[in-house]
Amino acid sequence: MASEREVFGLSGPLHLTNIDWNNAHHRRSVAASLVEGVYILERDRQEKREGSQALAPPWWEFFHFKLVRKLIDDVDFCIFGAIYEYKPPSSHCNDSIVSIDGNPRYVIAFRGTITKPDSFTRDFELDIHIMRNGLHQTSRFEIGMQAVRNMVATVGASNVWLAGHSLGAAMAMLAGKTMAKMGNFLEAFLFNPPYLSAPIERIKDKKVKHGIRIAGSVITAGLALAARGKNPRSRSEDPFSALSAWTPSLCVNPADHLCSEYIGYFEHRKKMEEIGAGAIERLATQHSLGGLFMSVVGKGVEAAEPLHLLPSANLTVNLSPSNDFKQAHGIHQWWRPDLNLKCSLYKFK
């Protein structure tokens, strides 16, 4: 039997009967619903729900989207993503390729991990790749990345949105960063993106927390300088500057330890700028301690750029109480109409 959470009529944002594409809550809610549509597409496949029995279509059709393509993993053949096209009633638009009133023309959405036997093994393998900073080396990411490249080449970056949750947020983030380095800045909604580090944000004492972050920045910057000495070619590379013009929307919950470090990440960067140590943090934030250690002592192995490197972002923090981790990490929270949100724009150049 299907879970109530899979049924749009029972758990979807039914209150959004008239979408205002300039309203941040509406945009976020639609993006989250399209990501949920990918989850339910895969669950429909697993449960062999077809035709009138399928539960996924209402998650996009309610907002006048059409499913254009499913993105299929080449290892276990699960559905990990989807491409949607916005097809509102003819009275609301014309056939122009240009987006109207801030709406997307296409949305490429990626789901996160599903803890069901048919897909969990492969999903968990991708989760491990994130922990090892190796998501860019996986075939699933390359399939998704190629879909993004093709869509941008066909309709232009301004007509494409990216959206993802958890593992899918990591996919969307990496795809968005890749496109940004090529000068294509895509609108992106990243829900509960993983940020792997010590849970410093959970420390209650602000002075202790800030002191730990400063020490970490100094150590990381020092190792980065040592790594540069061993690899002179890296001195001219500055991914921080290349990405600074891209401002994705990050949606995080402080009760979700998988993504809550983004809160401290951006606040710490701001504080380091305020005390005149912005150059140290600028260098530190481009690297991970583990990767740098391998660069310095690991026979010249060059560290991969950390997934969490984001100079700029629209950070939305859900301050509403969560009953447990599952609720704090879930996608459903992001379309609730009664959220207590703190929104901050971090723009660094």
Per-residue pLDDT reduced to its tens digit, 291-313: 555 555 554 444 567 787 788 99
Mean pLDDT of 196-207: 68
CB–CB of 58/66 below 8 Å? no
Q: Which of 4-13, 84-93, 207-216 has the lowest mean pLDDT?
A: 207-216
Q: Which of 131-145, 185-199, 245-259 has the lowest mean pLDDT?
A: 185-199
Mean pLDDT of 144-169: 97
**Whether pLDDT at 255 is above 90:** yes
CB–CB of 314/248 below 8 Å? yes
CB–CB of 161/227 below 8 Å? no
CB–CB of 239/181 below 8 Å? yes
Domain-located, residue 42: yes
Query: How confident is the model at residue 276, as a pLDDT?
Result: 80
Percent of the chain scoring above 70 in pLDDT? 84
Side-by-side strand order, sheet with 65-72: 65-72, 79-86, 106-110, 160-165, 187-191, 249-252, 313-318, 341-346
Mean pLDDT of 162-183: 96
Structural domain for 211, as ranges:
2-88+100-228+236-344
Mean pLDDT of 3-18: 95
Which residues lie across from 250 on neighbouring strands?
A: 190, 315
**Whether pLDDT at 200 is above 90:** no
**Whether pLDDT at 251 is above 70:** yes
Domain-located, residue 128: yes
Cα–Cα distance, 143 to 149 (Å, whole number)? 10
Cα–Cα distance, 296 to 128 (Å, whole number)? 23
Mean pLDDT of 307-330: 93
**Higher pLDDT pick, 215 / 257:** 257
The answer, as to whether pTM is greater than 0.75, is yes
Which residues lie across from 183 on neighbouring strands?
A: none
Query: Taking the alpha carbons of 272, 169, 64, 84 in that order, is the dihedral positive or negative?
Result: positive
Cα–Cα distance, 243 to 311 (Å, whole number)? 7
Query: How confident is the model at residue 99, as a pLDDT?
Result: 44
Per-residue pLDDT reduced to its tens digit, 43-56 = 999 999 999 999 99
Domain-located, residue 93: no
Mean pLDDT of 137-145: 96
Query: How confident is the model at residue 300, as a pLDDT?
Result: 42
Q: Which of 9-18, 221-230, 318-327 has the lowest mean pLDDT?
A: 221-230
Q: For the chain, what percentages of helix, strand and coil (3-state, to nearest 5) are there?
A: 50, 15, 40
Q: What are phi and psi of 94, to 5 degrees?
A: -120, -170
Ranges assigned E (strand) in 177-263: 187-191, 249-252
CATH no. for residue 67? 3.40.50
**Higher pLDDT pick, 215 / 87:** 87
Mean pLDDT of 118-136: 90
Domain-located, residue 219: yes
Cα–Cα distance, 303 to 287 (Å, whole number)? 8
- 171, 240, 286 from 234: Cα distances, Å: 25, 13, 12
Mean pLDDT of 195-224: 72
Domain-located, residue 299: yes
Domain-located, residue 349: no
Query: How confident is the model at residue 202, as a pLDDT?
Result: 67
Query: Taking the alpha carbons of 18, 176, 76, 329 in that order, is the dihedral positive or negative?
Result: negative
Domain-located, residue 107: yes
232 exposure class (CB count in 10 Å sphere: 0-12, 13-18, 19+) = exposed
Query: How confident is the model at residue 210, as a pLDDT?
Result: 67
Domain count, the chain: 1
